[in-house]
Amino acid sequence: MRRWASFFLVVTGVAILAGVLWAWQHISQPPHSQAGEVPTAIAGVPLMQVITGEEAVRSINRLHGKEFPLVSGAVAVYGEQNVILWVSTAADEAAAGELTRLMTERIAEGRSPFQENGSRKVDGVTVYDLTGLGQRHFYWQSGNLVLWLAADEALAGRALEETIAFYAAK
């Protein structure tokens, strides 16, 4: 009888230790550490669908009709497409800066469906502001991430602020 009690105590202790280690690892991670991590809601609109990793990279490349040197990505849809977030992870900050620069140049050529509204600093981040396809669009760089946010006009300001705060470079 003592042997079973000892065995039960050891198994229970190992299970508790494994649970504590799992929780410590997952809770201690910053919420923006990877592109695959997206807010559960933006501007009060709940997350309805998200794709991550290679599938997201393929989706981002397909959207642009060309291959980008991305490490990872995420595409998140909120509500009934009231807000859509694309997160592209480049190899490093310099590569993300180059992708942002190229995107800015391409849009300036005037062959995209977007109208430029200029750029501005929001919490120290240069944000490019566009309109098109029935929504407001913003894009910016945060570390090795390049983010593009599309939102219905009524949600755009709040969506931008919340998303910048979520992905703020530390």
Kindly report the pTM of this predicted structure: 0.76
Contacts of residue 23, defined as CB under 8 A and 6 or more positions apart, other chains included, come to none
Task: Starting at the earlier edge strand, list the strands of the sheet with 135-142.
Answer: 41-42, 45-52, 70-78, 83-90, 145-151, 135-142, 125-132, 115-122
The pair phi, psi for residue 27, each rounded to 5°, is -75, -30
What string of pLDDT tens digits covers the 170 residues of the chain?
A: 556 444 444 434 433 433 333 333 333 333 333 446 899 999 999 999 999 988 888 888 777 776 777 989 999 999 999 999 999 999 999 999 999 999 999 999 999 999 999 999 998 899 999 999 999 999 999 999 999 999 999 999 999 999 999 998 53
